[in-house]
Amino acid sequence: MKKNNLFSIILISSLVVFIILCGTVFAYMFKQASDSNNEFIPAVVSCEVDEEFDGEYKSSIKVKNTGNIDSYIRLRLVSYWVDSEGNIAPLPSKMPDIQLGDGWIAGSNDTYYYKTTVLPKEFTDNLLTANVHLEKDSNGNKQVLEVFAEAIQGKPADAVTDSWKVTLDSNGNITSAP
């Protein structure tokens, strides 16, 4: 009988210790889990053009990365004429001479690529090294140079190489564009 009592006491003591340990472990795990804060912030890719134009000369064309991740930037320039009332004039338009600033390379169809990714809230370098003169004719028509900007995520590199068909070097810089 003493053996059974001793065995019962050991069994009950072990069970009580096990329950206390399990309770302590679970309490610690739940306390740790409630202290952690796991936020998911989705990536935003966006940009905006910042240009200076005095009515006759464009002196600066930059792009700001308004998203929250590093992004590649490209610009497309479109030139056309408007009449004195602001309507598009049926005149043949030509692209003004663009002298590229540092950090930019020319692609086809008046498209220009910034060679490196741009950090969030930062600007590209100026596209222009010289002012661009926009013409006027004797009938009151004015040449317009419209700037369209696009951004694409910087990582993975496949995003820009597959979408824009550009070539990157080992540092992730655009070296050639279509």
pLDDT level of residue 89 (50, 70, 90 thresholds): very high
pLDDT at residue 34 is higher than 60: no
Q: How far apart, in whole angstroms, are the C-alpha atoms of residue 132 and residue 113?
A: 18
Q: How many residues can be counted in the chain?
A: 178
What is the pLDDT, as a whole number, of residue 10?
Answer: 77
Q: Taking residues 77-94, what's their average pLDDT?
A: 93
Q: Are 79 and 96 in contact (CB under 8 A)?
A: yes
32 is written with which tokens? Answer: 């740790």
Check residue 17 and give its pLDDT. Answer: 79
Instruction: Specify the pTM.
Output: 0.78
- Return the exposure string of 14-26: e unless at least 16 CB atoms fall within 10 Å of the residue's CB, then b: eeeeeeeeeeeee
pLDDT of the residue at 12 = 78
Cα angle: 131, vertex 135, 137; to 5 degrees: 165
> CA 157, 162, 168, 171: dihedral to nearest 10 degrees?
0
